[in-house]
Amino acid sequence: MGDEEGVDPPTDFAPDSSWPLPVPVPVPVPGGPDSVSDTFNYFFDWDSAMLSEFEGNLQPGHTEEIERFDQLDRTETRPDLAGTFSASESFAGGGGSCVSGSVTSSNPGGSTDVLISNPSMSSSSSEDPPEKSTGSGGKPSEIPSKVKKKGQKRIRQPRFAFMTKSEVDHLEDGYRWRKYGQKAVKNSPFPRSYYRCTNSKCTVKKRVERSSDDSTIVITTYEGQHCHHGVGFPRGGFINHEASFAGQLKHPHSSPQMTGYLGTLFPQEYVIDEKETMAK
DNA sequence: CGACTTTGACCGGCGC
DNA sequence: GCGCCGGTCAAAGTCG
Protein backbone atom coordinates (compact mmCIF):
# COMPACT_ATOMS: atom_id res chain seq x y z
CA MET A 1 0.00 0.00 0.00
CA GLY A 2 1.37 3.20 0.74
CA ASP A 3 4.73 2.02 1.58
CA GLU A 4 5.92 2.36 -1.86
CA GLU A 5 3.71 4.72 -3.55
CA GLY A 6 6.43 6.85 -4.82
CA VAL A 7 6.61 9.71 -2.47
CA ASP A 8 7.62 7.86 0.55
CA PRO A 9 10.77 6.00 0.56
CA PRO A 10 10.38 2.36 0.98
CA THR A 11 10.92 1.08 4.35
CA ASP A 12 14.53 0.68 4.04
CA PHE A 13 17.35 1.42 1.80
CA ALA A 14 16.26 -0.52 -1.08
CA PRO A 15 18.67 -0.36 -3.87
CA ASP A 16 16.35 1.45 -6.06
CA SER A 17 15.32 4.02 -3.62
CA SER A 18 18.29 5.35 -1.94
CA TRP A 19 20.71 6.26 -4.51
CA PRO A 20 24.20 5.59 -3.80
CA LEU A 21 24.96 9.04 -4.61
CA PRO A 22 26.32 9.57 -7.84
CA VAL A 23 29.48 8.64 -8.68
CA PRO A 24 32.41 9.48 -7.00
CA VAL A 25 34.82 8.99 -9.65
CA PRO A 26 37.96 8.59 -7.79
CA VAL A 27 39.68 11.47 -9.25
CA PRO A 28 42.69 12.71 -7.54
CA VAL A 29 42.60 16.32 -8.34
CA PRO A 30 45.75 17.17 -10.06
CA GLY A 31 47.44 19.55 -7.85
CA GLY A 32 44.07 19.99 -6.51
CA PRO A 33 42.61 22.98 -4.98
CA ASP A 34 42.75 22.54 -1.32
CA SER A 35 39.09 23.14 -1.07
CA VAL A 36 38.28 19.96 -2.76
CA SER A 37 41.29 17.90 -2.47
CA ASP A 38 40.22 16.70 0.86
CA THR A 39 37.22 15.19 -0.68
CA PHE A 40 39.23 13.51 -3.25
CA ASN A 41 41.56 12.07 -0.80
CA TYR A 42 39.38 9.05 -0.93
CA PHE A 43 40.05 6.64 -3.59
CA PHE A 44 37.22 4.30 -3.80
CA ASP A 45 37.21 1.07 -5.47
CA TRP A 46 33.98 2.06 -6.94
CA ASP A 47 33.23 -1.22 -8.51
CA SER A 48 33.14 -2.87 -5.22
CA ALA A 49 31.64 0.13 -3.67
CA MET A 50 28.63 -0.04 -5.81
CA LEU A 51 28.19 -3.66 -5.26
CA SER A 52 28.60 -3.27 -1.63
CA GLU A 53 26.06 -0.60 -1.59
CA PHE A 54 23.48 -2.54 -3.37
CA GLU A 55 24.07 -5.66 -1.52
CA GLY A 56 24.60 -4.14 1.78
CA ASN A 57 21.65 -1.90 1.82
CA LEU A 58 19.39 -4.54 2.91
CA GLN A 59 21.54 -5.61 5.67
CA PRO A 60 20.54 -4.48 9.06
CA GLY A 61 24.02 -3.70 10.01
CA HIS A 62 24.42 -0.85 7.66
CA THR A 63 23.66 1.52 10.38
CA GLU A 64 26.98 1.03 11.92
CA GLU A 65 28.60 1.41 8.65
CA ILE A 66 27.00 4.71 8.18
CA GLU A 67 28.38 5.99 11.34
CA ARG A 68 31.70 4.62 10.58
CA PHE A 69 31.69 6.24 7.27
CA ASP A 70 30.73 9.45 8.76
CA GLN A 71 33.79 9.27 10.82
CA LEU A 72 35.83 8.55 7.84
CA ASP A 73 34.51 11.58 6.28
CA ARG A 74 35.63 13.59 9.14
CA THR A 75 39.10 12.33 8.79
CA GLU A 76 39.16 13.66 5.37
CA THR A 77 42.50 15.06 5.05
CA ARG A 78 44.32 11.98 5.90
CA PRO A 79 46.25 10.96 2.89
CA ASP A 80 47.24 7.84 4.61
CA LEU A 81 43.70 6.72 4.39
CA ALA A 82 43.53 7.20 0.73
CA GLY A 83 43.26 3.96 -0.98
CA THR A 84 43.14 2.22 2.27
CA PHE A 85 39.46 1.89 2.71
CA SER A 86 37.83 -0.94 1.13
CA ALA A 87 34.87 0.15 -0.76
CA SER A 88 32.59 -1.80 1.40
CA GLU A 89 33.68 0.11 4.35
CA SER A 90 33.73 3.45 2.88
CA PHE A 91 30.82 3.51 0.67
CA ALA A 92 28.39 1.12 2.11
CA GLY A 93 27.58 3.77 4.54
CA GLY A 94 27.01 6.31 1.97
CA GLY A 95 24.07 7.16 3.87
CA GLY A 96 23.59 10.46 4.90
CA SER A 97 21.00 12.78 5.29
CA CYS A 98 18.05 10.80 5.62
CA VAL A 99 19.61 8.53 8.03
CA SER A 100 22.51 10.15 9.34
CA GLY A 101 23.10 9.74 12.76
CA SER A 102 20.58 7.51 13.91
CA VAL A 103 19.37 6.07 11.18
CA THR A 104 17.07 5.05 9.34
CA SER A 105 14.59 4.55 10.53
CA SER A 106 12.88 3.41 8.08
CA ASN A 107 9.91 4.26 9.71
CA PRO A 108 7.44 2.33 7.84
CA GLY A 109 4.70 4.64 8.61
CA GLY A 110 6.19 7.87 7.67
CA SER A 111 9.47 9.11 6.61
CA THR A 112 9.31 12.40 8.26
CA ASP A 113 11.01 11.43 11.39
CA VAL A 114 13.89 10.15 9.57
CA LEU A 115 15.23 13.51 8.89
CA ILE A 116 14.76 14.99 12.19
CA SER A 117 16.32 12.14 13.88
CA ASN A 118 19.69 13.42 13.11
CA PRO A 119 21.07 15.43 15.89
CA SER A 120 23.94 16.55 13.87
CA MET A 121 21.85 18.01 11.22
CA SER A 122 22.37 21.46 12.27
CA SER A 123 22.73 23.00 8.95
CA SER A 124 19.64 21.98 7.34
CA SER A 125 16.25 21.44 8.53
CA SER A 126 15.75 24.93 7.51
CA GLU A 127 12.39 23.88 6.38
CA ASP A 128 11.21 23.30 9.81
CA PRO A 129 13.39 24.62 12.43
CA PRO A 130 12.25 22.73 15.34
CA GLU A 131 13.36 25.04 17.89
CA LYS A 132 16.61 26.58 17.36
CA SER A 133 16.16 27.87 20.72
CA THR A 134 19.54 27.10 21.62
CA GLY A 135 19.98 30.63 21.74
CA SER A 136 23.35 29.82 22.74
CA GLY A 137 22.91 32.32 25.37
CA GLY A 138 24.85 34.84 23.53
CA LYS A 139 22.26 36.34 21.41
CA PRO A 140 19.48 38.31 22.81
CA SER A 141 16.15 37.06 21.75
CA GLU A 142 15.91 40.18 19.80
CA ILE A 143 15.59 38.82 16.43
CA PRO A 144 18.86 38.52 15.10
CA SER A 145 18.01 38.63 11.55
CA LYS A 146 20.27 35.80 10.91
CA VAL A 147 20.16 33.59 13.83
CA LYS A 148 21.64 30.21 13.35
CA LYS A 149 21.42 27.22 15.44
CA LYS A 150 24.36 27.68 17.57
CA GLY A 151 25.75 25.33 20.04
CA GLN A 152 25.34 22.56 17.60
CA LYS A 153 28.43 21.37 16.01
CA ARG A 154 28.16 20.95 12.36
CA ILE A 155 28.92 17.44 11.46
CA ARG A 156 29.37 16.88 7.84
CA GLN A 157 27.61 14.17 6.03
CA PRO A 158 29.52 11.75 3.98
CA ARG A 159 30.52 13.42 0.82
CA PHE A 160 31.13 12.21 -2.63
CA ALA A 161 32.66 14.22 -5.31
CA PHE A 162 33.19 13.59 -8.91
CA MET A 163 34.39 15.51 -11.85
CA THR A 164 32.53 15.85 -15.04
CA LYS A 165 33.51 17.50 -18.19
CA SER A 166 30.67 19.70 -19.15
CA GLU A 167 29.82 23.11 -20.39
CA VAL A 168 27.02 23.53 -17.98
CA ASP A 169 27.57 23.88 -14.31
CA HIS A 170 24.46 22.33 -13.03
CA LEU A 171 24.03 18.88 -14.40
CA GLU A 172 20.71 17.17 -14.43
CA ASP A 173 20.71 14.24 -12.13
CA GLY A 174 17.10 13.37 -11.79
CA TYR A 175 16.49 15.43 -8.70
CA ARG A 176 15.35 18.95 -8.27
CA TRP A 177 17.72 21.31 -6.56
CA ARG A 178 17.35 24.74 -5.16
CA LYS A 179 20.29 26.99 -5.15
CA TYR A 180 20.84 28.58 -1.81
CA GLY A 181 24.15 30.20 -2.15
CA GLN A 182 27.11 31.01 -4.23
CA LYS A 183 30.54 31.91 -3.08
CA ALA A 184 33.75 32.82 -4.66
CA VAL A 185 36.34 30.30 -3.71
CA LYS A 186 39.90 30.95 -3.03
CA ASN A 187 42.41 29.99 -5.63
CA SER A 188 39.73 29.66 -8.20
CA PRO A 189 38.29 32.17 -10.61
CA PHE A 190 35.05 30.30 -10.61
CA PRO A 191 32.40 30.62 -7.96
CA ARG A 192 31.06 27.66 -6.09
CA SER A 193 27.33 27.13 -6.06
CA TYR A 194 25.43 25.50 -3.25
CA TYR A 195 22.31 23.50 -3.93
CA ARG A 196 19.87 21.73 -1.70
CA CYS A 197 17.39 19.09 -2.68
CA THR A 198 13.98 20.64 -2.99
CA ASN A 199 12.36 17.72 -1.32
CA SER A 200 11.52 18.93 2.13
CA LYS A 201 12.27 15.56 3.59
CA CYS A 202 15.61 15.38 1.99
CA THR A 203 18.59 17.24 3.22
CA VAL A 204 20.99 16.29 0.54
CA LYS A 205 23.16 19.11 -0.61
CA LYS A 206 25.56 19.51 -3.37
CA ARG A 207 28.22 21.94 -4.31
CA VAL A 208 29.10 22.66 -7.83
CA GLU A 209 32.24 24.37 -8.93
CA ARG A 210 34.55 24.41 -11.83
CA SER A 211 38.03 23.20 -11.60
CA SER A 212 40.45 26.03 -11.46
CA ASP A 213 42.74 23.84 -13.37
CA ASP A 214 40.46 23.10 -16.22
CA SER A 215 37.42 25.25 -16.60
CA THR A 216 35.68 22.59 -18.59
CA ILE A 217 35.62 20.31 -15.63
CA VAL A 218 32.77 20.60 -13.23
CA ILE A 219 33.36 19.32 -9.76
CA THR A 220 30.20 18.22 -8.06
CA THR A 221 30.23 17.27 -4.44
CA TYR A 222 27.24 15.57 -2.92
CA GLU A 223 26.62 15.54 0.76
CA GLY A 224 24.07 13.18 2.15
CA GLN A 225 21.85 10.72 0.49
CA HIS A 226 18.45 11.06 -1.04
CA CYS A 227 15.66 9.29 0.71
CA HIS A 228 13.24 9.65 -2.11
CA HIS A 229 12.99 9.11 -5.78
CA GLY A 230 14.02 11.68 -8.24
CA VAL A 231 11.47 13.55 -10.21
CA GLY A 232 9.59 11.37 -12.57
CA PHE A 233 11.62 8.60 -11.36
CA PRO A 234 10.31 5.20 -12.24
CA ARG A 235 11.28 2.73 -9.62
CA GLY A 236 14.48 1.19 -10.57
CA GLY A 237 14.79 3.18 -13.69
CA PHE A 238 17.84 5.09 -14.55
CA ILE A 239 16.91 8.50 -15.58
CA ASN A 240 19.57 10.17 -13.84
CA HIS A 241 22.76 10.45 -15.60
CA GLU A 242 24.74 10.27 -12.48
CA ALA A 243 23.08 7.06 -11.64
CA SER A 244 23.77 5.97 -15.10
CA PHE A 245 27.16 7.16 -14.50
CA ALA A 246 27.37 4.78 -11.66
CA GLY A 247 26.25 1.99 -13.86
CA GLN A 248 28.83 2.98 -16.27
CA LEU A 249 31.47 2.73 -13.70
CA LYS A 250 30.49 -0.71 -12.87
CA HIS A 251 31.35 -1.71 -16.33
CA PRO A 252 33.80 0.82 -17.47
CA HIS A 253 34.87 -1.14 -20.39
CA SER A 254 31.90 -3.12 -21.34
CA SER A 255 28.95 -0.84 -21.33
CA PRO A 256 28.81 0.78 -24.65
CA GLN A 257 25.12 0.99 -24.24
CA MET A 258 25.41 3.10 -21.23
CA THR A 259 27.68 5.41 -23.00
CA GLY A 260 25.22 5.79 -25.75
CA TYR A 261 22.48 6.25 -23.29
CA LEU A 262 24.28 9.02 -21.63
CA GLY A 263 25.01 10.59 -24.87
CA THR A 264 21.41 10.57 -25.74
CA LEU A 265 20.21 12.08 -22.58
CA PHE A 266 22.94 14.52 -22.15
CA PRO A 267 24.36 16.20 -25.11
CA GLN A 268 27.19 17.60 -23.18
CA GLU A 269 30.42 15.89 -23.42
CA TYR A 270 30.58 14.02 -20.22
CA VAL A 271 33.65 12.26 -19.34
CA ILE A 272 32.50 8.96 -18.20
CA ASP A 273 35.65 7.14 -17.83
CA GLU A 274 37.57 9.64 -15.90
CA LYS A 275 39.81 7.08 -14.46
CA GLU A 276 41.42 6.93 -17.76
CA THR A 277 41.07 10.50 -18.69
CA MET A 278 42.37 11.89 -15.51
CA ALA A 279 45.02 9.34 -15.16
CA LYS A 280 46.82 10.67 -18.10
C1' DC B 1 1.22 33.39 -7.10
C1' DG B 2 4.50 30.09 -6.14
C1' DA B 3 9.01 28.42 -7.00
C1' DC B 4 13.49 29.52 -7.80
C1' DT B 5 17.76 32.51 -8.15
C1' DT B 6 20.64 36.19 -6.70
C1' DT B 7 23.29 38.41 -3.43
C1' DG B 8 25.01 40.52 0.72
C1' DA B 9 25.60 39.55 5.43
C1' DC B 10 26.41 36.58 9.19
C1' DC B 11 28.47 32.67 11.70
C1' DG B 12 31.70 29.17 12.97
C1' DG B 13 35.94 26.68 12.25
C1' DC B 14 40.62 26.83 11.62
C1' DG B 15 45.30 28.47 10.93
C1' DC B 16 48.62 31.80 12.20
C1' DG C 1 43.24 36.72 19.83
C1' DC C 2 42.70 37.86 15.11
C1' DG C 3 41.75 37.33 10.49
C1' DC C 4 40.55 34.41 6.65
C1' DC C 5 37.50 31.48 4.45
C1' DG C 6 33.80 28.20 3.71
C1' DG C 7 29.07 27.51 4.39
C1' DT C 8 24.42 29.13 5.26
C1' DC C 9 20.61 32.30 5.78
C1' DA C 10 17.11 35.15 4.17
C1' DA C 11 15.34 39.31 1.80
C1' DA C 12 14.63 40.88 -2.64
C1' DG C 13 14.22 40.08 -7.36
C1' DT C 14 13.00 37.16 -11.40
C1' DC C 15 10.54 33.88 -13.98
C1' DG C 16 6.91 30.73 -15.53
pLDDT at A226: 75
Nucleotide minimizing C1' to CA distance for residue A35: C6
**Residue A271 CB contacts under 8 Å (≥ 6 apart), including other chains:** A163, A164, A165, A217, A277
Q: Reduced to 3 states, what is the DSSP secondary structure of residue A159? A: strand
Residue A132 clears pLDDT 50, i.e. is over it: no
pLDDT at A194: 92
Residue A162 clears pLDDT 70, i.e. is over it: yes
Residue A217 clears pLDDT 80, i.e. is over it: yes
**Rounded distance in angstroms from the CA atom of residue A104 to the C1' atom of nucleotide B1:** 36
Residue A105 clears pLDDT 50, i.e. is over it: no
A220 and A194 in contact (C-beta within 8 Å)?
no
Residue A247 clears pLDDT 80, i.e. is over it: no
Statement: the CB of A155 is under 7 Å from strand C: no
Residue A205 clears pLDDT 80, i.e. is over it: yes
Statement: the CB of A153 is under 7 Å from strand C: no
What is the DSSP pairing of strand A159-165 with strand A177-184?
A: unpaired
A225 and A94 in contact (C-beta within 8 Å)?
yes
Single-letter residue type at A98: C
Strand B nucleotides with an atom less than 7 Å from a protein beta carbon: 3-13
What's the rounded Cα separation, in Å, for the pair A138 and A11? 41
Task: Give percent of chain A above pLDDT 70.
Answer: 23
Please list, residue by residue across A269-280, b when 16 or more beta carbons sit within 10 angstroms of its beta carbon and e when fewer do: ebbbbbeeebee
| Cβ-based contacts (< 7 Å) between A 183-212 and strand C | 183-187, 192, 194, 196, 205, 207
Residue A135 clears pLDDT 50, i.e. is over it: no
